[in-house]
Amino acid sequence: GENVEQHPSTLSVQEGDSAVIKCTYSDSASNYFPWYKQELGKRPQLIIDIRSNVGEKKDQRIAVTLNKTAKHFSLHITETQPEDSAVYFCAAVLSGYSTLTFGKGTMLLVSP
């Protein structure tokens, strides 16, 4: 089955800095890559996603890039704010399926 590796496990930045979280996946048949944000004590919620026919997608301060050849994708957050502090999960979905395989998560801490 699919395996998703996520790095780093924790990331501390100063407010205003950029943050990058990286994921690799094992199965080249995966074609959908969402990112979820989970605030403390809350449920995971989708913040951005990308399909395998697109190399980059941007939504305000967040962007995701995908390198199909290398089988890795990354989340980029610019101008970080304290409210960006949360655990971020990447995931991959195999073509023709709907089940998400998650990475182990990255705890992002943004200090004022």
CA distance 10 to 24: 17
> What minimum distance in Å lies between the beta carbon of 24 and other proteins?
14
- CA nearest 85: which of 40, 34, 35? 40
Return the residues of window 18-37 that contact other proteins according to CB under 8 A: 32, 34
- CA nearest 17: which of 88, 87, 111? 111
Taking the CB of residue 31, how many other CB atoms lie within 10 A of it? 17
Q: Does 111 bind other proteins (CB under 8 A)?
A: no
**8, 12, 46, 79: which one contacts other proteins (CB under 8 A)?**
46
Binding window for other proteins (CB under 8 A); candidates: 16-24, 53-61, 69-77, 100-108 = 100-108
CA distance 54 to 62: 16
Q: Does 99 bind other proteins (CB under 8 A)?
A: yes
> What minimum distance in Å lies between the beta carbon of 51 and other proteins?
9
Position 86: which residue type?
A
Q: Does 75 bind other proteins (CB under 8 A)?
A: no
Binding window for other proteins (CB under 8 A); candidates: 13-21, 63-71, 73-81, 92-100 = 92-100
